[in-house]
């Protein structure tokens, strides 16, 4: 691992290696957008399909404007309101943005991370950086430097330790269509629908995916199975304590790793991936997680529920038996 003061991004990239950089959401596996060889290396190391687009990380709104064909007033307003921060904007891409980055689509996803180390790297980087989560595809996202080092070899990836990530889940993603004045809700995160609606002009509308359907795969994080631990994960929404739920399920409490998660949504998001990672390493065959009954009606839980819906192999309500 490397501290910020001793890493030279240009030198790392010139050596053919990637940088695992900390952000406020998760650690990202970074490469300059103008280095197709390194961008391809991200897909190779992660086992990521070419159909899954990447988010371009920028150090300024000026850099963001240089990546798009059109930058509407609402994009500027949202950037001023939420950047640096966990919001990704999807806009019509500029011609020089590679189709490899956008998975052949005509849009590009952009974000300015809210982490001093990430911003320092971006400001000395030769170009904006693509930086998907520094994990193997569909597995748990890393929120600590050691999580990355456990997966990738130092010969391939320079890990910059910026401490634990304070948000803990990936950014909210929205698409902007200037022609129709439509915002598309693509992936929930810490920033909620209510946060976005509060900033929208009256002549724009927010389009949500139909109930029970995924958003179209024109942004990262749209796979049905994602963010998964190695062990099977059962989620139960219940007023009862988790120990009672999973002990009574089989009569063998030791077969479950009961996952403690705070009842505050922001704290739960911050701890989620690390708690699942620790559960994977603990004794026990399966992971059991209990959620408070009011979580589905609380907008603050939307991002956590989205990640758990993709991570879980089984999801039950209080009335459903757990076996």
In a domain, 219, yes or no: no
Q: Which residues pair with 91 in a beta bridge?
A: 108
Tokens of 271: 């701890």
In a domain, 198, yes or no: no
- Residues 179-190: what's their mean pLDDT? 96
- The closest alpha carbon to 93, from 125, 121, 132, 128, belongs to 128
- Residues 29-55: what's their mean pLDDT? 97
> What pTM was estimated for this model as a whole?
0.92
Is residue 236 located within the same domain as residue 116?
Answer: no
Q: Which residues pair with 288 in a beta bridge?
A: 234, 258
Element (H, E) at 186: strand 182-187
Instruction: Tell me how far apart the terminal alpha carbons of the chain are, to the nearest angstrom.
Output: 42
pLDDT tens per residue across span 234-273: 999 988 888 788 875 555 555 888 888 899 999 999 999 9
Is residue 53 located within the same domain as residue 133?
Answer: yes
277, 140 Cβ separation under 8 angstroms = yes
Average pLDDT, the chain: 91
pLDDT tens per residue across span 103-139: 999 999 999 999 999 999 999 998 999 999 999 999 9
Say which CATH number the domain at 152 has.
3.90.870.10
> Is the per-residue pLDDT at 217 higher than 80?
no
By the 10 Å C-beta count (0-12 exposed, 13-18 middle, 19+ buried), 207 is classed as: middle
Is residue 134 located within the same domain as residue 61?
Answer: yes
**Domain-terminating residue out of 171, 192, 216:** 171
Is residue 153 located within the same domain as residue 12?
Answer: yes
Is residue 32 located within the same domain as residue 163?
Answer: yes
The per-residue pLDDT for 250 is 54
pLDDT tens per residue across span 59-84: 999 999 999 999 999 999 999 999 99
Tally of structural domains, the chain: 2
In a domain, 301, yes or no: yes
Is residue 10 located within the same domain as residue 159?
Answer: yes
The per-residue pLDDT for 5 is 57
Domain span at residue 104 reads 4-171
The per-residue pLDDT for 247 is 72
**Domain-terminating residue out of 147, 171, 195:** 171
The per-residue pLDDT for 260 is 83
> Is the per-residue pLDDT at 215 higher than 60?
no
**Domain-terminating residue out of 149, 171, 193:** 171
Is residue 236 located within the same domain as residue 161?
Answer: no
> Is the per-residue pLDDT at 323 higher than 60?
no
Residues of the chain with pLDDT > 90: what percent?
79
By the 10 Å C-beta count (0-12 exposed, 13-18 middle, 19+ buried), 11 is classed as: exposed
Any idea what the Cα angle at residue 230 is, between residues 226 and 235, rounded to 5°?
A: 70
> Is the per-residue pLDDT at 221 higher than 70?
no
269, 167 Cβ separation under 8 angstroms = yes
Given strand 232-237, what is the order of strands in its sheet? 256-259, 286-291, 232-237, 314-317
Is residue 164 located within the same domain as residue 267?
Answer: no
The per-residue pLDDT for 240 is 86
Is residue 9 located within the same domain as residue 128?
Answer: yes
- The closest alpha carbon to 18, from 119, 108, 124, 130, belongs to 130
pLDDT tens per residue across span 282-298: 988 899 999 998 898 99
Tokens of 288: 């059991």
- The closest alpha carbon to 130, from 103, 156, 95, 167, belongs to 103
In a domain, 60, yes or no: yes
In a domain, 15, yes or no: yes
In a domain, 287, yes or no: yes
The per-residue pLDDT for 245 is 84
3-state secondary structure 76-126: HHHHHHHCCCCEEEEEEECCCCCHHHHCCCCEEEEECCCCHHHHHHHHHCC
pLDDT tens per residue across span 165-177: 999 999 999 999 9
The per-residue pLDDT for 295 is 92
The per-residue pLDDT for 231 is 94
In whole angstroms, give the CA distance from residue 86 to residue 94. 23
Residues of the chain with pLDDT > 70: what percent?
89
In a domain, 178, yes or no: no
Choice between 1 and 319, residue whose per-residue pLDDT is larger? 1
In whole angstroms, give the CA distance from residue 315 to residue 9. 43
Is residue 241 located within the same domain as residue 100?
Answer: no
19, 7 Cβ separation under 8 angstroms = yes
Tokens of 83: 């950047």
Is residue 67 located within the same domain as residue 152?
Answer: yes
Element (H, E) at 185: strand 182-187
The per-residue pLDDT for 317 is 77
In a domain, 199, yes or no: no
Is residue 29 located within the same domain as residue 120?
Answer: yes
The per-residue pLDDT for 246 is 83
Element (H, E) at 268: helix 265-281
């Amino acid at each position: 691992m490397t501290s910020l003061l001793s890493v030279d991004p240009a030198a790392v990239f010139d050596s053919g290696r990637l940088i695992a950089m900390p952000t406020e959401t998760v650690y990202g596996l970074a490469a300059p957008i103008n280095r197709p060889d390194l961008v391809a290396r991200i897909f190779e190391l992660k086992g990521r399909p070419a159909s899954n687009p990447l988010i371009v990380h920028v150090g300024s709104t000026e850099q963001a404007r240089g990546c798009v064909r059109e930058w509407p007033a609402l994009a500027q307003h949202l950037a001023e309101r939420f950047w640096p921060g966990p919001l990704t904007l999807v806009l019509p891409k500029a011609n020089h943005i590679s189709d490899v980055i956008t998975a052949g689509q005509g849009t590009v996803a952009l974000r300015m991370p809210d982490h001093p180390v990430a911003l320092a790297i971006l400001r000395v980087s030769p170009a904006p950086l693509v930086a998907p989560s520094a994990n193997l595809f569909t597995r748990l996202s890393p929120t600590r430097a050691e999580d990355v080092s456990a997966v990738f070899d130092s010969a391939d990836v320079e890990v910059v330790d910026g401490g634990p990530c304070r948000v803990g889940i990936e950014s909210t993603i929205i698409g902007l269509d200037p022609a129709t004045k439509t915002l598309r809700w693509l992936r929930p995160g810490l920033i909620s629908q209510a946060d976005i609606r509060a900033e929208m002009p009256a002549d724009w509308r927010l389009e949500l995916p139909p109930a029970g359907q995924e958003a179209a795969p024109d942004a990262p994080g749209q796979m049905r199975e994602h963010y998964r631990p190695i062990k099977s994960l059962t989620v139960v929404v219940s007023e009862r304590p988790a120990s009672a739920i999973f002990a009574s399920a089989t009569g063998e409490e030791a077969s479950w790793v009961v996952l403690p998660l705070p009842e505050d949504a922001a704290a739960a998001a911050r701890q989620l991936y690390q708690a699942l990672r620790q559960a994977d390493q603990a004794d026990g065959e399966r992971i059991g997680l209990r959620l408070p009954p009011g979580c589905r009606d609380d907008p603050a839980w939307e991002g956590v529920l989205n990640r758990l819906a993709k991570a879980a192999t089984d999801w039950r309500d209080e009335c459903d038996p757990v076996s």
